[in-house]
Structure 1
Amino acid sequence: MVRQGKSRSADPKQSLVRVRGWQHPSKYTLTQVDTMKGLPSLLNGSSTRKWTQSTPSTDTAEDEGQSGSTISPTKPPSADISSGGSKNPMIWTRRKITWLITLIALSVAIIVVVITVPVVLLVDDAHNDDPSYYNSANRPVRVVQDFPDPGLIQVNSTWYAYATVATPDNPDVPHVPVSTSRNFSSWDWLQGHDVMPAMSSWETNMNQYAPDVIQRKDGRFVLYYSGELKDWLRHHCVGAAVSNSTSPLGPYIPHNSTLACPRDHGGAIDPAPFKDVNGTLYVVYKVDGNSVGHGGDCNNGKKPIVSTPIMLQQLNDDGVTPVGDPVQILTNEKVDGPLVEAPNIIRTDRGIYYLFFSSHCYTSSKYSVKYAWSTSLKGPYTRAERPLFRTGDFGLKSPGGATASIDGSKIVFHAFCGDYRCMFAAAMNITANYTILPAAL
């Protein structure tokens, strides 16, 4: 059947392109044969495929009442595969190949950067460490097994260290174990000796944590510790006990009431005494906010994270009576994970106060001995960029719970040794730029 309509141009230069079932005169003529044989021909310019615009026809085509659409002169026409035509292959030009090569190179560069940057940062961090950390003579000495959270005092020529009880749920073991040393590098654990054999009425008969000792003006000693509350098990508050003699070995008689017990915030633990240059006594401790946390690491790894501030409390000369309200001198930040704890303060001859503390959960490899410094006892304190000891230093695992000597030359702390937390002894050097570095005992 001959379809009635306007006559078409007889120009042989015009090609016919099938578009959705009807024919339309193309405005392009394929004037040369494509001699491209592959990618090399594109690179050397041997491809001769090109489209040239021919004189457009004044005719139009119609198919069953549909009028044809004009094909854009800016690109060659393509066939509709659904109508039986074949799709034109992609035309590779120099510009397209250049863009492709550029994109591939850029992708490879991004992958290299993503992989390399963390490694470079780790290497730089290691290279930026002070050489003191690579001197084996500065290695801390493991001195007592299963002796965590050590407190420290020197009386005459003897050092005394007090620790968290090794088996906290056993009421038949010493509540506060003690070790002694004459040279700081070798220690004797006084097995079976309990410096505080009796407990106060407000606490249970076990689970005493992190004891520490200071000497009063009258020659007697005051022991500070974390005691478990009878009416709130697994929660602690700070207690104090006074020796009934002038011996640091006790026995110590506990005070009838708690020294610090912020129940609304989880209680308090990790007390450490401090005597300022004018003789004023203080105790620094941690508010145990993670004990009322929402789960996760050390019960405070899930949001909202509960604050675990470090508090400074002035004391009367008796060492057991608070003077005024406590002052916050530090608290946990995002970099600390669930908590900060184990505070300890010393003052150097230059008048600089150093606050030692630990952060993250004690079971974590991120647990470490950190420190901050200030020209004022009450702060603000500037944190050091690098912990004094962290996992990996001298082979240590999760070091923390440190107590420094009054003169700032020595320090004890615990770190994992197999299934135990052992006490380590080390020397340290406080530099002119406030940095503390390990030194040889």
Structure 2
Amino acid sequence: MKRIRSILNRDRSPPTTWIQSAQSNEGAEGISPAKLPSPEEQGARASMIWTRKKVAWLVILIFLGVAIIVVVVTVPVVLLDNRGSPDDPSYHNKANRPIRSVDDFPDPGLVHVNGTWYAYGTDAAKDDPNVPHVPVATSKNFSTWALLQGYDVLPTLSGWETNINHYAPDVIQREDGRFVLYYSGELKDWLRHHCVGAAVSNGTNPLGPYVPRNQTLACPRDQGGAIDPAPFKDADGTLYVVYKADGNSIGHGGDCNNGKKPIVPTPILLQQLQNDGVTPVGDPVEILTNEKVDGPLVEAPVIILTDQGVYYLFFSSHCYTSPKYNVKYAYSTSLRGPYIRAERPLFKSGDFGLKSPGGATPSVDGTRMVFHANCGGHDRCMYAAAINISANYTITPAALIGT
């Protein structure tokens, strides 16, 4: 009976497991019992394992959440960036490629007289008084251009301007047959700042020479001066000049001196003129100004009017030293606006291999255009191109066919 109880009691004792013991001090090996973990220890281990699983799942969920946020934020940005991609077939047609025409000839103005095209350029050697103040190139077919070496359409200057740094000239013919040249000149009493000047040809030759007026045509000093003038004749014959208030010249540094906040406005202003093309009528009207998408500025404005009664305002945005520099346009059924911006620039870096295209001037009929783009080193070369204005207000490149 005692033996039976002993056996029963032995069976109720905690279970044991046998493991091989390490070598004893005497060098003998043997088998020794070891206890299994208690229920409390097993619970603690299970809790630890469960906690690790929860941490792992939490990490995975956080990673997925971050990934979703990145996708939600990135996809709209990519779509916006691609919105202006050259998806129109005209940008993939090599026949539409602009032609490099004149080296070192920025900001070209344009006029067509008696079967000859005349382009007027910025004084590229800005610090050399021995180069032409306003160089000129000519063409019979718009494809092949010849620079008139050493010829200066503005050989004499007005008393208010320095002998260097003449920017963005442009020309128009008035009713008496003479031509008016508009340009940006540097102020003697405010160096590195410009205002708009005007000069009238002695005769009826678009090559001039031109005689400058004694005073500036537009000089808003509180807005930083004025540059990039371009003439415009409305359907009723009224003359205007459009130009940029040079706000970035009084900016706070950075890209084109206006990349640091607060960004200074660089509005495009429209000034009505008398029939002489040099006398202002009333005050200028702002028709466009720089927005966030324009970087530090808008500049180089030019206006044309189509046969459909639509006004197109061409302009450039961003700094001319930046790869973001471009040729943009906006349209309106009223000369004074408001102007609706096109979604895509007409020309931007990458189109046909162009680098920083800008400073464009279209022909009066809106079929051709000259502009500049970087062409090696610090040079900006003139390019000639054809354009097509569609009924939906979209302008695209076209094949240049000489006339």
Match of 2:339 among 370, 381, 389: 381
1:274 aligns with 2:204: no
Which residue in the other structure is 1:425 paired with?
A: 384
Which residue in the other structure is 1:219 paired with?
A: 177
Which residue in the other structure is 1:319 paired with?
A: 277
2: CA distance, partners of 1:400 / 1:213:
18
Residue 90 of structure 1 aligns to a residue whose secondary structure is helix
Counterparts in 2 of 1:123 and 1:373: CA distance versus 1, 3 Å: closer
Residue 132 of structure 1 aligns to a residue whose secondary structure is helix
- Trace 1:55-204 onto structure 2 (pairs within 5 A): 90-92=48-50, 96=54, 99-100=57-58, 103=61, 106=64, 109-110=67-68, 113=71, 117=75, 121=79, 124-125=82-83, 129-204=87-162
Aligned alpha-carbon RMSD (Å): 2.6
Deviations 1:300-324 (A, max 9, x none): 1111111110000000000000011
Question: How far 1:376 sits from its partner (Å)?
Answer: 0.2
Deviations 1:119-151 (A, max 9, x none): 963895476721111111111110000000000
1:302 aligns with 2:302: no
Counterparts in 2 of 1:123 and 1:256: CA distance versus 1, 3 Å: closer
CA contact (8 A) 2:110 2:119 kept: yes
Question: How far 1:169 sits from its partner (Å)?
Answer: 1.1
Residue 326 of structure 2 aligns to a residue whose secondary structure is coil
Question: How far 1:104 sits from its partner (Å)?
Answer: 6.6
Question: How far 1:115 sits from its partner (Å)?
Answer: 10
The one-letter amino acid of 1:138's match is N
Residue 290 of structure 1 aligns to a residue whose secondary structure is helix
Residue 91 of structure 1 aligns to a residue whose secondary structure is helix
Which residue in the other structure is 2:24 paired with?
A: none
Question: How far 1:175 sits from its partner (Å)?
Answer: 0.5
The one-letter amino acid of 2:144's match is S
Which residue in the other structure is 1:62 paired with?
A: none
Residue 369 of structure 1 aligns to a residue whose secondary structure is strand
Task: Between the two structures, name the one with larger relative contact order (CA 8 Å, sep ≥ 6).
Answer: 2
Deviations 1:167-188 (A, max 9, x none): 0111111100000001111100
Which residue in the other structure is 1:435 paired with?
A: 394
CA contact (8 A) 2:242 2:268 kept: yes
Which residue in the other structure is 1:205 paired with?
A: 163
- Trace 1:243-392 onto structure 2 (pairs within 5 A): 243-392=201-350
Which residue in the other structure is 1:5 paired with?
A: none
Structure 1, unmatched stretches of 5+, are 1-28, 35-48, 50-77, 79-86
The one-letter amino acid of 2:395's match is I
The one-letter amino acid of 2:374's match is F
Counterparts in 2 of 1:244 and 1:125: CA distance versus 1, 3 Å: same
Residue 427 of structure 1 aligns to a residue whose secondary structure is strand
2: CA distance, partners of 1:96 / 1:199:
82
1: CA distance, partners of 2:383 / 2:235:
28
Question: How far 1:113 sits from its partner (Å)?
Answer: 2.8
Counterparts in 2 of 1:325 and 1:108: CA distance versus 1, 3 Å: closer
The count of aligned residue pairs is 364
2: CA distance, partners of 1:296 / 1:184:
38
2: CA distance, partners of 1:128 / 1:391:
11
User: 1 or 2, which has the higher helix percentage?
Assistant: 2
Deviations 1:8-42 (A, max 9, x none): xxxxxxxxxxxxxxxxxxxxx965995xxxxxxxx
1: CA distance, partners of 2:279 / 2:83:
46
1: CA distance, partners of 2:307 / 2:75:
42
CA contact (8 A) 2:84 2:343 kept: no
1: CA distance, partners of 2:143 / 2:388:
17
The one-letter amino acid of 1:351's match is G
2: CA distance, partners of 1:403 / 1:318:
22
Counterparts in 2 of 1:116 and 1:204: CA distance versus 1, 3 Å: closer
Counterparts in 2 of 1:221 and 1:122: CA distance versus 1, 3 Å: same
Question: How far 1:88 sits from its partner (Å)?
Answer: 8.0
2: CA distance, partners of 1:237 / 1:128:
36
1: CA distance, partners of 2:161 / 2:39:
101
The one-letter amino acid of 1:323's match is V
Counterparts in 2 of 1:292 and 1:116: CA distance versus 1, 3 Å: closer
Q: TM-score, normalised by structure 1?
A: 0.78
The one-letter amino acid of 1:437's match is T
- Trace 1:235-250 onto structure 2 (pairs within 5 A): 235-250=193-208
CA contact (8 A) 2:84 2:345 kept: no
- Trace 1:27-66 onto structure 2 (pairs within 5 A): 34=42
Residue 348 of structure 2 aligns to a residue whose secondary structure is coil
Counterparts in 2 of 1:93 and 1:397: CA distance versus 1, 3 Å: same
Deviations 1:236-287 (A, max 9, x none): 1000000001000000000011000011111100000000010000000000
Counterparts in 2 of 1:100 and 1:253: CA distance versus 1, 3 Å: same
